[in-house]
Amino acid sequence: MKAARCIGLSVAALCLTRAASAEDAARPRNVLEIPAPARRRSVHVPRSAKDWPVGTTAVRPGDVAVVRLVATGPVLEADLAAASDAVAAELRLSYSEVLLPADAAAGIERAQPGCLTAPGARCLGRALEDMGWPMFVSGRVTRSGASTEVTLELFESRTGRSLARASRETTAADRAGLVALGRVLVRDLARGVEAGRRVAHLAVDSDPEAATVTVNGRMVGRTPWAGDLEPGRATLVVELSGRVRQSRDLDLAAGESERVVLTLPGSTAAARRRPLVGPLLLGVAGLGLIVLDAVTLAARGCTGTGAAGTCARIAPVPFAVYGLGGVAAVGGAFLWYFFGGQPDAAEVSAR
């Protein structure tokens, strides 16, 4: 009886072993399985771009992608890779899907060739948004002497704006120290994201750039400008010398992002302050000259009398001096009033 039971158990174990082997054989060899915590599903992502189906530009739409850390100073490539993978593993505890650094690099190079040569948030964000990843984490390891600083930053792919940033220093120069610090910084990022949900983010662009940005009467910078503000109603004013000032009333919500783009027309589009005193005085003087010309002409302008007692010849000098001077003064006053003055600084609202 014992022998039969042992034979039965051996056969069952052999069957289970063969079933597991068959399952492993059926699993794609170019696929990496990310270990999933309880009640979370595993994610399979291709190891390189050549394994993607023809015509696709995304590995897998999901929550957050991890861009491989870059280094300043003497940092081994293997240490960077290990720290980047540790960041992805720690993120996996909070996000249902995480794109690993190697796969993110392959996808970015395919979507935005050359972007990884000089990685910027906008370039990386465009590539990862096209791939279906709404957020990404990138960072830098800076080593100087015995000190090593690791910085991680979480970005929104669509806008390239920073959602949270965390940085710490360590004296541990080995790989294990970098891995441990990377995991700690991910938890710091999570706290930063939670704090960011209590403020509103505003980005302001203008054409032309370098315009002064004022929020609720306080100058905060020049365009292009972006920053966090208290939620609620806010009055935005953008102005630049020689351009028409623009304003807008905003209702900023906590945890939300708003982008405002304003065009500043040239000063020729602005209303002009028409001068009054100068043209008025000049016009009065012109009219006075015309009246004086008429009086002079009536009194002693005639230099010769005809047979019937009429004036046969008029003196040209008084007529020319007073008459033409008066007409010129009145015409000058007219031109001064309608075409003179400076552009008005009055606000042209963009509401």
Task: Find how far residue 268's CA is from the centre of its chain.
Answer: 29
> Which among 327, 344, 217, 208 has a CA at the least distance from the CA of 273?
344
Quick check: is 111 in a domain? Answer: yes
Three-state DSSP string of 164-202: EEEEEEECCCCHHHHHHHHHHHHHHHHHHHHHHCCCEEE
Same domain for 82 and 205? no
User: How many domains are contained in the chain?
Assistant: 3
Q: What is the pLDDT of residue 159?
A: 81
Work out the number of other CB atoms within 10 angstroms of the CB of residue 329.
Answer: 20
Quick check: is 258 in a domain? Answer: yes
Same domain for 206 and 190? no
Residue 269 tokens read as 């589009």
- CA 127 – CA 116 distance, rounded (Å): 11
Quick check: is 16 in a domain? Answer: no
Q: What is the pLDDT of residue 272?
A: 55
Looking at the DSSP assignment, which residues form a beta bridge with residue 57?
Answer: none
Quick check: is 210 in a domain? Answer: yes
Same domain for 161 and 303? no
Last residue of a domain, one of 131, 165, 196: 196
Same domain for 103 and 157? yes
Tell me the residue range of the domain where 305 lies.
Answer: 277-339
pLDDT string in tens for the chain (351-residue length): 545 555 554 545 545 455 444 444 444 433 333 333 333 333 333 333 334 333 333 334 458 899 999 988 888 899 999 999 999 988 888 776 888 999 999 999 888 888 888 778 888 988 998 888 888 999 999 988 888 889 998 888 888 888 888 888 888 778 888 899 889 888 888 877 766 566 777 889 998 999 999 999 999 899 988 888 888 889 999 999 889 999 999 988 876 778 899 999 886 544 456 666 666 666 666 666 666 666 666 555 565 555 555 565 556 656 566 666 666 666 666 666 666 655 544 444 333
Q: Give start and end residues of each alpha helix (H) in the chain.
A: 2-26, 77-91, 101-111, 121-130, 175-196, 277-300, 316-318, 325-339
Same domain for 65 and 178? yes
Last residue of a domain, one of 249, 269, 289: 269
> Which among 154, 175, 150, 183 has a CA at the least distance from the CA of 66?
154
Q: What is the phi-psi region of residue 236: left when phi exceeds 0, alpha when psi lies from -120 to 50, beta otherwise?
A: beta
- CA 13 – CA 18 distance, rounded (Å): 9
How far are the Cα atoms of 20, 36, 174, 180, 301 from residue 87, in angstroms, in the given order? 31, 15, 16, 9, 103
Q: Phi and psi at residue 269, in whole multiples of 5°?
A: -85, -5
Residue 220 near residue 212, CB atoms below 8 Å: no
Residue pointed to by tokens 């068959």: 22
Quick check: is 105 in a domain? Answer: yes
Quick check: is 104 in a domain? Answer: yes
Domain at 91, CATH number: 3.40.50.10070
Same domain for 231 and 215? yes
Same domain for 184 and 214? no
Taken in order 300, 306, 310, 315, the sign of the CA dihedral is negative
Residue 103 tokens read as 């796969």
Cβ contacts of 296 within 8 Å, gap of 6 or more: 318, 322
Same domain for 257 and 291? no
Q: What is the pLDDT of residue 36?
A: 35
Same domain for 173 and 284? no
Same domain for 236 and 155? no
Domain at 219, CATH number: 2.60.40.1120
Pairs from 205-209 (Cβ < 8 Å, separation ≥ 24): 205/259, 205/260, 205/261, 205/262, 206/238, 206/240, 206/246, 206/261, 206/262, 206/263, 206/264, 207/261, 207/262, 207/263, 207/264, 208/240, 208/243, 208/264
Quick check: is 346 in a domain? Answer: no
Same domain for 31 and 92? yes
Same domain for 209 and 190? no
Last residue of a domain, one of 196, 223, 238: 196
Work out the number of other CB atoms within 10 angstroms of the CB of residue 202.
Answer: 22
Quick check: is 8 in a domain? Answer: no
